[in-house]
Structure 1
Amino acid sequence: MHSRLQELKKEEETLLKIKVMLQDQLNRLKVLQEKYGGWQNISMVNHFNEFANLCFERFGNRVKYWITFNNPWSVAVEGYETGEHAPGLKMRGTGAYKAAHHIIKAHAKVWHTYDTQWRGKQKGLVGISLSGDWGEPVDISNQKDIEAAERYVQFYLGWFATPIFHGDYPQVMKDFIGRKSVQQGLGTSRLPTFSPQEKSYIKGTCDFLGIGHFTTRYITQKNYPSGRSSSSYFTDRDLAELVDPRWPDPGSEWLYSVPWGFRRLLNFVKTQYGNPVIYVTENGVSEKMLCTELCDDWRIQYYKDYTNEMLKAIKDGVNVKGYTAWSLLDKFEWDEGYSERFGLYYVDFRNKNKPRYPKASVQFYKRIISSNGFPNQREVENWRRKAVETCSSSNHLLAADPLTSHMEMVTEIVVPTVCTLSILLSAIFLMFLLRRRN
């Protein structure tokens, strides 16, 4: 008992140290944004390289696979175009392109730093992980839809992959953004350019490509006006995204289960970029916000269908070397907080101890890993029966008094908000009365 308490105390001290370290890093990141403007400033390339070099020095004897950036599309578009994510800037039509330009340069510099200083003694690999949804033409006989679907993928995955593998942005991005910039009366394209030296420096800086893939869209041609006030990353593409209402949508509003798109995306990468080594870094599905159902049949079906399409792509000759289910645990999901659950394990965030409960998909994924393939039907039926029993007992625990949960929310969020608004409204009303008297 005493030794266990000592272990818990050490774990608590370790967590505290990690918390302090993370807070310190957040403070440093805040300074980089406030002092330099974040990824809008070219100086970030050197700052990031210094950080990466420190990581190579401290951890390179143990870490052999390095990912410079995960999902830079979200950093650029949702950080500097729409403002949905940190740092929350809305620099439409320019911010995302500039941020991406500097991120690509930073990635290349880090790759070269590792290649020249560390690869010889550490024998590791450096890559990048890019998000990529597949775009399928609405009408496969319509050339405009085919071209629009191509633009969708090139403006998404190709935006970062094409410079890294070929040295420059996709031609379709240069054409469309350049033409719209001219129509808006601008002297140069809103899409930055790489010098010949930079193209050579960036090209080939990828030992492996990480792919984060979740869903697919139908794409059709749509012409947007080219006025300067309406310019944005999204209107530059001249396309519209559609979904089939028959596609399953178990969780996040943007995530539909479309397995066949995964195989097509992987084959696109093979064709476009010389069949690089691919590690699928993210693939999974969420569930409804308040769901506490542990028998997640829809997630099992998603993983079965998507991994099956990945296996087909491997038979097509795509060089997939690894796959990671997203994710192990329910977690903090961008601006959605804890409301969207991607985990194989349910985490009860209302409990201060954050207990974890295995969902039925845990057993399915465990079987895939242990047998290096899909389990046979008898095995599936056997663990499914056990999962139903587990779900029944666990759900009773998880379905904690909803009224209590609601009252906690009202007490902790709604009441203070209402009080604050009441005070502000009272102050405004008082100022109005005083002005009328004067």
Structure 2
Amino acid sequence: MFRHRVWVLCVLVISATCGEELNNKTFPGYFIFGTATASYQVEGAWNEDGKGQNIWDNFTHEDPSRIVGNANGDIACDSYHKYKEDVALLKDLGVDHYRFSISWSRVLPTGYSNEVNKAGVNYYKNLIKELNDNDIFPLVTMFHWDTPQPLEDIGGWTNDTIVDRFVEYAQFLFETFGDDVQMWLTFNEPKQTCNGGYGNGILAPGIQSPGVGEYLCTHNVIKAHAAVWHLYDEKYRRRQNGHLGITLDCFFGEPDSDSQEDKDAAERMLQFNYGWYANAIVNGNYPKVMRNVIARRSAAQGLSKSRLPDFTSKEIQFIKGSFDFLGLNYYTVNMVKARGSEVPVVSSWEKDMEVDIYLKEEWPKSSSSWLRIVPWGMRKMLNWMKKTYGDDTEIFITENGVSDDGSSLDDQIRIDYYQQHISGVRDALDDGVNVIGYTAWSLMDNFEWIRGYSECFGLYQVNFTDADRPRTPKRSVEFLKKVMTTRCVTDVCEDY
């Protein structure tokens, strides 16, 4: 995809922190580096210039105690007013691309395409122009968790009419921004939207309908994604010459033992996570193991039909192959053990998986309880994707990063994490995995959903007690600046 771009890129030395070898080979010329943010997490200006309300506005305002510190994204990093400063940081960092999302409710306040907010459109036009003027490639996410509230009021992603609304929204984006954007992501981590939003309810919109809601949501997300891909392929690709994919989150699942039961459990965990969406988009249907397990468990509950919806034969053919590349948001490893297939009293996606997961105590900790630092998982995850979805499938790492508490600019933990994980990406390239890019999460500290501002992933520290929201570089900026400029994670590199 990017082989027309020419870069001089770099990456066996021993890591001083973990004892793992670092790959010192240069990256191939098409490989690109960048960083990322998302609209609700950084923009602020939640009710300015005609923006409509979205589910995270409602979720945080309706019950502030849902968020650590009663925080919200009303102001966040104030990137709505500081986008030129943000682009200057990106330029100084030396990125090839910047991944950001468009707020659906900022450009279409009600979620419907017949009401356009010109001020919101101008904001993104100005941001995209600023990026292109500085030779930074815009990688644009259409949906990063922030459904317009009027659409949520009629069922959101569990109401199948949202498929048409999303296609109309996507067409508006292609018409408005597509000549200046060559790479699109339809959805960011839809598993979190669907399971967190409609399953266990810990994320916006906070609907608790486990074992049903998350599957209805996913069914509509997949249909919406496929429809948008076909729309772009048939109407816009030839003129705009872009590419469109989806990005999915997954931890690597490592079997607890060499037993076949645990090996099967680890594979099942990966299929219930990444495969839930990817298998449908690549092959046309949910993973066979998901269909079989959920059907069996549904029958054990006395249900006449599986809780996992079926695609029609026509839908299977329509969905199959509806991608140009697969995005991966990767952070850590889970150990996986098989769990017995008990008759479920209360169903959920987590229980349907029939696994137990845990983190090894000896793995280094971050400031996020779920995130331990396990660099070898990156290479394994990428190789699993190659094995599962084919040698030719292009993979774009759209998030990778580690949290601290944000109190210090001396973030050696982040330097080590990036160095080890980028080395793992280079190892995967040696293994023949078709990885085309790497994106560090995130450009700056921001609103981290239900964790508020208590966990910080940024390369730049943001002072959230200062009305001006000043950005200050952490030590990791200099490290990644060197990586992105020289294309090396070590001082001495071997030619590709």
Q: What are structure 2's unaligned runs of at least 5 residues?
A: 1-42, 54-104, 111-147
Q: 1:21 to 1:126 in 2, by over 3 A?
A: farther
AA aligned to 1:277 is: E
Of residues 301, 305, 319 in structure 1, which corresponds to 2:434?
319
CA contact (8 A) 1:52 1:110 kept: yes
* 1:171 CA displacement: 0.6
AA aligned to 1:220 is: K
Q: 1:199 to 1:145 in 2, by over 3 A?
A: same
What is the rounded CA distance, in whole Å, between the counterparts of 1:256 and 1:16 in structure 2?
Answer: 34
1:31-67 Cα shifts (integer Å, max 9, x gaps): 1111x20011111110000000000000010001010
* 1:241 CA displacement: 0.4
Map residues 378-397 of structure 1 onto 2, 5 A cutoff: none
Of residues 402, 413, 427 in structure 2, which corresponds to 1:285?
402
Matched, 1:48 2:166: yes
CA contact (8 A) 1:137 1:145 kept: yes
Q: 1:348 to 1:268 in 2, by over 3 A?
A: same
Matched position secondary structure for 1:83: coil
* 1:278 CA displacement: 1.2
CA contact (8 A) 2:211 2:349 kept: yes
Map residues 148-227 of structure 1 onto 2, 5 A cutoff: 148-223=265-340, 225-227=342-344
* 1:104 CA displacement: 0.2
What is the rounded CA distance, in whole Å, between the counterparts of 2:375 and 2:307 in structure 1?
Answer: 35
AA aligned to 1:185 is: G
Matched position secondary structure for 1:118: helix
Matched position secondary structure for 1:68: strand
Q: 1:121 to 1:338 in 2, by over 3 A?
A: same
- 1:103 maps to 221
What is the rounded CA distance, in whole Å, between the counterparts of 1:17 and 1:162 in structure 2?
Answer: 36
AA aligned to 1:264 is: K
Matched position secondary structure for 1:339: coil
- 1:115 maps to 233
Matched position secondary structure for 1:19: coil
* 1:368 CA displacement: 0.7
* 1:21 CA displacement: 4.2
* 1:17 CA displacement: 11
CA contact (8 A) 1:76 1:100 kept: yes
Of residues 125, 128, 131 in structure 1, which corresponds to 2:249?
131
CA contact (8 A) 1:345 1:362 kept: yes
Matched, 1:30 2:59: no
Matched, 1:274 2:393: no
* 1:23 CA displacement: 3.3
Matched, 1:39 2:157: yes
- 2:413 maps to 298
CA contact (8 A) 2:422 2:489 kept: no
Matched position secondary structure for 2:270: helix
Relative to its length, the structure with more helix (as a share) is 1
Q: What are structure 1's unaligned runs of at least 5 residues?
A: 1-13, 378-438
* 1:20 CA displacement: 2.4
RMSD: 1.6
Mean CA deviation greater in 271-280 or 306-315? 271-280
Runs of 4+ in 1 over 3 A off after TM superposition: 14-19, 21-24
Matched position secondary structure for 2:401: coil
AA aligned to 1:19 is: E
Of residues 376, 381, 391 in structure 2, which corresponds to 1:260?
376
Matched position secondary structure for 1:241: strand
Matched position secondary structure for 1:321: strand
Matched position secondary structure for 1:129: strand
- 2:202 maps to 84
What is the rounded CA distance, in whole Å, between the counterparts of 2:51 and 2:361 in structure 1?
Answer: 42
Q: 1:262 to 1:16 in 2, by over 3 A?
A: closer
* 1:314 CA displacement: 0.7
AA aligned to 1:366 is: K
Of residues 118, 134, 143 in structure 1, which corresponds to 2:260?
143
- 2:123 maps to none
- Identity rate of aligned residues, in percent? 42
CA contact (8 A) 1:367 1:375 kept: no
AA aligned to 1:183 is: A
AA aligned to 2:275 is: G
AA aligned to 2:374 is: V
TM-score normalised over the length of structure 1: 0.80
